[in-house]
Amino acid sequence: MGGTAQLLRSETLVGEGDIVQLFNAARDEEYAEIVDRGNDFLDEVERETKAEKFTYAELEEIDEDLSKLKGWLAKVRARDTLDAAGYGPAVDALARCEAVFEEFTSRVYDANPDH
């Protein structure tokens, strides 16, 4: 395997603030979508709780959904080199999701004491 690499350095003469704003706006859109999907996650767990669907299969499905949200947040954060403002709300949204997941997990174990 071969290849070459080049490292370039640039300096912005005019419009640096505009560029930062564009980058942050793109990340903020992604963070906002994570918040929206987090709300969808919370709605789903609420529906399953109301239906008393406290099964291990449902728990696994919800766990996978939460893992996807966490992975998505990590990927966006890795691209967020300029610290967009949407990061905090996305972290808060996932914290709510984790808390609800923990509560649902407890309910599953309570409903299935033999496992």
Question: At 30, phi and psi to the nearest 5?
Answer: -65, -45
Closest residue by Cα to residue 27 from 79, 96, 63 = 79
User: Would the pLDDT of 1 be above 90?
Assistant: no
Give the pLDDT mean for 57-68: 98
Model confidence at 18, in pLDDT bands (50, 70, 90)?
confident
Which of 95, 91, 5, 79 is CA-nearest to residue 42? 95
**pLDDT for 21 beyond 80:** yes
Whether 81 has a pLDDT exceeding 80, the answer reads yes
Q: Is the pLDDT of residue 12 over 70?
A: no
- Which tokens hold the place of 87? 């990061």
CB distance 90 to 35 below 8 Å: yes
d(CA 32, CA 27): 9
Task: Enumerate residues 6+ apart whose C-beta is below 8 A from 88.
Answer: none
Q: What is the pTM of this model?
A: 0.84
